[in-house]
Structures are given as structure tokens and as C-alpha cells.
Chain A
């Protein structure tokens, strides 16, 4: 009885893990959406003349992972690239006025 219960619990746990994993797995569509958002943000940073090298390398890593079929990793990298691009946009925008604080007067 104890063995049956234990086996059932293990099977249930495996199912649960499988379900969670299936839910968390990034699809190609998820990657494409995340990558497009990251590229758009980086393009915006480019218009502000303030792209970061790390955004470019993270975008490249996302593409490489997608080409290898690892869409979990690819999506995560694309989201990271978008966050970096957005940070560079924030920096460029805030520095439009904040540079004056550093000026020698």
C-alpha cells in the first residue's frame, strides 16, 4: 500500500513537473514576439544615438539559441536584450538634462 501510494505520488509529481515544463517552454512564436520587441527597442535606442554593445550581443545570443531550437533560452535572451535596450533609452532620455550636473562651471 505504501509502495503504491509512493508510486502514485511520484507519477503525479512527474506529471505536474511535465505540465509545468510544458507551460514554461517558450514556443517559436514567443521567441519571435520577444525578439521583435527587443529589436524595436534597440532601434529606438539607435535613433537616440545610444545603443549598448551588450544589447547587440544579447540579441545575437537569442538568435543563435533560436537557430539551435532552444526557444526557452532564445526567448529569455530576447527579453534580456529588450530590458537592456530600454535601459539605454532611459539613459539617453534622462541624460538630455542630467549631463549639466557634471559640468565644470
Chain B
């Protein structure tokens, strides 16, 4: 009990010291939001850190960080583990709803080859719309129940749509709208904010430590990380959506995850996608 009290006391003292220090540091809160400069600096950071990795290879996550893993990945791509999901998604995509319409009726170009434009900022709603959200809204608009954001059906649909965009450069727009800039900035803040009892931010793993091991895994670089979504993860023995990735990341650092498609997740996907502009869509991907 005494030891616990001592730990609490020490933690409180440390916290107070950190708070005092934080108060003296420049907050930078008044910085101008400049997505173009951010994306340039983001790309430079990773290409400087990994000069041997080709820019387009960053989308292959941990496989781009390690030669042995890269070879394993090339072998894996001969019989990709996401193939079953791709087939399922293709079938689901073309199967009409009860009212006779299909997903193609909800999307530009019939939903083919458009993955690289998601998420986008919707000026009517004033919020970020992700592909997963747009798919469920399409279902609901056509009288169907929405799918779970973290389960196989959503992974299959997004896998198929990503596949039809393979090789196309990510092309996220930030309109000249203060609400869009705020969504982008909030996404950035979320990405760099430490949370959970382990005191990790997204950047702790994917900026500070890509290529390093965390337990048995090799961490992926943040540059291009969303271009490969959705992914088959051997650890999950199945497919995972972007929503699944975000919520499990939160749990793993002992933070209570939000609901999939809450504003925080939509905004962080917007930020991560924007700073990965120009890198090819590689989804669906496979990860260890």
C-alpha cells in the first residue's frame, strides 16, 4: 500500500513538473494550417529516413522496411490471402439491393477506380466522408441495414473498390473551406496526440519507429499506410477495415476506442490520406 502511495505521489510530482514545462514551451497553436507544406515535410521525413526505399514502395508497409520481409511479401502476392475477400466484394458490389439498385448507383463512375478520392470533405455536411461511411450510407439510402465497420462485409466491399483503383495515385482534396482545414488539422492533432495508458500516439509507432520491432511485428511507416487498406492480417487471421485498424490501435495502447466513423477517426484518415497523396493505391494489402 505504501509503495502504491509512493508511486502515486511520484506520478503526481512528475505530472506537475511536466505541466509546468508544457506551459513554458511554445504551443505553436497559432501556426497557420498549411497542408501542402505538411505533406512535403512528411514525405521528406520518410524518404530521408529510408533513402533506399522507393517512394511507391512505402505503401507496402513493413515489407518495404526489410529485405527478407519484402521477399516474403512477393511470394505471398502469388496467392494473396485477401483474394477470397476480393471475390466476395466483387460479388456483393454487383448484387442489386432489394429495390433493384446497386452500389454503382451511389458513386461517381459507378464506383470503379475512385478509391483514391476518399475520404473527401463534404461541404453540405461540413464533415469528412470516408469510403466506409459512404458505402453504409448507400446501403441505408436504398433501404438496407448498414454493415459493421469492422467486419468482413465492409472489408470485402472496400477491398474490391481499392482493387479497381490499384496503381492510381492517392488524390485527396482539401477545399478552401475553413471547416475542411479544421477537419484536416484535427486529424493531424489526433495523429500526434499521445493517448492510452501506454502514452503512445499514432506517430510513436509510425513516425518515430517504422522498421523497428514491437514485439514480433515490424512497424509500418505512416507515409502511404492508408493506401493499402483494407488489409489481410495474419495476426487477425482475416481482413481488417480502416475502422478496425484505428480502433484496435487504440485498444492496444490501452485507450478506450471511439465508435468507428466518429469524427476523430474520419479526420485522422483525411489527414493521413492527404499526406500520402501521389503514392499509389495498393489495397487490398496483406500484413504479417
Residues of chain A having any CB pair with chain B under 8 Å: 49-54, 56, 76, 80, 83-84, 87-88, 90-95, 97-105
Contact = CB atoms under 8 A, between A and B. Distances in A.
Contacts of B27: 97, 100
B204 to A, nearest CB: 8
Interface of B: 1, 4, 8, 11, 15, 18-19, 22, 25, 27-29, 31, 38, 41-42, 45, 188-189, 192-197, 199, 201, 203-204, 207-208, 251, 254-256, 258, 264
A88 to B, nearest CB: 8
Contacts of A104: 38, 41-42, 45, 207
Contacts of B197: 52-54, 84, 87-88
A87 B15 contact: yes
A102 B15 contact: no
B67 to A, nearest CB: 26
B45 to A, nearest CB: 5
Nearest to A52: B197
B19 A100 contact: no
Describe A's contact surface by its main secondary structure.
helix
A46 to B, nearest CB: 8
B4 A80 contact: yes
B193 A95 contact: yes
B25 A76 contact: no
B254 A99 contact: no
B41 A105 contact: yes
Contacts of B22: 94, 97-98
B1 A54 contact: no
Contact of B11 (A49, A54, A83, A101): A83
Contacts of B254: 52-54
A103 B275 CA distance: 13
A103 to B, nearest CB: 5
B19 A94 contact: yes
Contacts of A91: 194-195, 199
Contacts of A105: 41
Contact of A95 (B15, B195, B258): B195
B189 to A, nearest CB: 6
Nearest to A93: B19
Contacts of B188: 103
Contacts of B18: 94
A102 B8 contact: no
11 contacts: A50-B255, A53-B256, A95-B193, A99-B189, A99-B193, A101-B25, A102-B204, A102-B207, A103-B188, A104-B207, A105-B41
B198 to A, nearest CB: 9
A104 B188 CA distance: 10
A80 B204 CA distance: 27
A60 B97 CA distance: 43
Contacts of A99: 189, 192-194, 201
Nearest to B204: A102
Contact of B255 (A51, A100, A101): A51
Given A52-B256, A99-B193, 15 more contacts: A49-B258, A53-B196, A53-B251, A54-B254, A76-B4, A84-B197, A94-B18, A94-B19, A95-B193, A95-B194, A99-B189, A100-B27, A102-B201, A103-B28, A105-B41
Contacts of B251: 53
Given A50-B195, A90-B15, A104-B41, A97 B255 contact: no
